[in-house]
Amino acid sequence: MRVLRVDASARVDDSVTRRLADLMLEILGERVPDLSVVRREAAGMPFVDDAWVGANSTDPEARDSAQRWALAKSDELVSEVMAADVLVIATPIYNFGVPASLKAWVDQVARARLTFRDTEYGPEGLLTGKKAYVLVASGGTEVGSDIDFATPWLEFVLGFLGITDVEVIAADRGMLRGDSARQNAAEHVADVLERDWPALAEAS
Q: Show binding-site residues.
A: 9
CA neighbor of 171 nearest in space, from 100, 91, 87, 89: 91
Q: By three-state DSSP, how is residue 159 classified?
A: helix
User: Least distance to a copy of itself from the beta carbon of 156, Å?
Assistant: 6
User: Least distance to a copy of itself from the beta carbon of 169, Å?
Assistant: 21
Beta strands in 32-147 (DSSP E): 36-41, 86-92, 116-119, 122-125, 131-137
Name the residue nearer to a copy of itself (CB basis): 32 or 158: 158
User: Least distance to a copy of itself from the beta carbon of 91, Å?
Assistant: 12
User: Which of 99, 125, 162, 174 is in the footprint of a copy of itself by CB under 8 A?
Assistant: 99
Residues flagged as binding site for FMN:
9
Our measurement of the distance from residue 159's CA atom to the centroid of its chain's CA atoms, rounded to an integer in Å, reads: 12
Our measurement of the distance from residue 154's CA atom to the centroid of its chain's CA atoms, rounded to an integer in Å, reads: 8
User: Which of 29, 33, 144, 152 is in the footprint of a copy of itself by CB under 8 A?
Assistant: 152
**Residue 126 interacts with a copy of itself (CB under 8 A): yes or no:** no
Beta strands in the chain (DSSP E): 2-7, 36-41, 86-92, 116-119, 122-125, 131-137, 165-171
Residues numbered 51-70 forming contacts with a copy of itself, rule: CB under 8 A: 52-53
CA neighbor of 74 nearest in space, from 95, 94, 98, 54: 54
Name the residue nearer to a copy of itself (CB basis): 36 or 113: 113
Site of interaction with a copy of itself (CB under 8 A): 10-13, 43-45, 47-50, 52-53, 94-101, 103-104, 106-107, 110, 123, 140, 147, 149, 152-153, 156-157, 160
